[in-house]
Amino acid sequence: MFGKIKKEKMTYGIVGLGRFGMALAHELASDGCELLVMDRDEEKVREIREFTENAFVALSLDKKTLSETGIQNCDVAVVCIGEKMDISILATLNLISFGIPRVIAKANSHEHGEVLEKLGAEVVYPERDMAIRLANRLEASRTLDFIQLSERINITKLQIFDSVIGKSVRQTNFRSKFNLNIIAIENGGNVIETVTPDYVFQKDDILYLSGSKKSLIDFNNWLEENVKFK
């Protein structure tokens, strides 16, 4: 249990090993994070023990059961239960009562999320967020990827187009024309994190642009009308 471990890294507790919880556990484990996970399904718990020895079968999420796992000693706890709202709310309430520094909870609806927020949890909507991300990728058909950080801040990944190869950042001036900032450029596995106005675009550059959703869509519409892609 985490109560007996000398912690040197951030520790994460995951409650619920559905698709979201299992994917989260795999990602955190692959990054070398310390994990404590629990689910009522013994088979899922057995599967995740490949990544952490702190995996528990929990048939109940009352305070006694939760505390016996040591989850109260985690830095972050994530409730990955969305389908059963009552269990999700109970688990979230109990984790917050332990004084865990950061409690994040998955919600399947706006109403569910409102309750979780009132309890003091950070709320995530995985299905909604993936839908937004896909919709924006479809709307911006020339982009390689799209990430929404907030309502006003978005990041898009874009393959360079021929008409700007050989031109500098200053000459293309995406900031003035579209209110977009180039936050990084990738080429051949190398990433330039500080892009100066004198940088000259090269063949195979991949641009990372940040701006509002409207700015990115306007930029994509301009590409559709003015740029020929092979």
Q: Domains in the chain, start-ordered, CATH in brackets?
A: 2-128 (3.40.50.720), 135-225 (3.30.70.1450)
Instruction: Give pLDDT tens digits for 51-78.
Output: 999 999 999 999 999 999 999 999 999 9
- Residue whose C-alpha is closest to residue 106's, from 132, 83, 73, 133: 83
The CA-atom distances, in angstroms, between 152 and each of 4, 21, 155, 210, 223 are 44, 28, 10, 10, 21
pLDDT of residue 217: 73
Q: Which pLDDT belongs to residue 155?
A: 79
Mean pLDDT for 91-104 is 95
- Per-residue pLDDT, 219: 78
pLDDT at 145 over 80: no
Structure-model confidence comparison of residues 106 and 227, the more confident one: 106
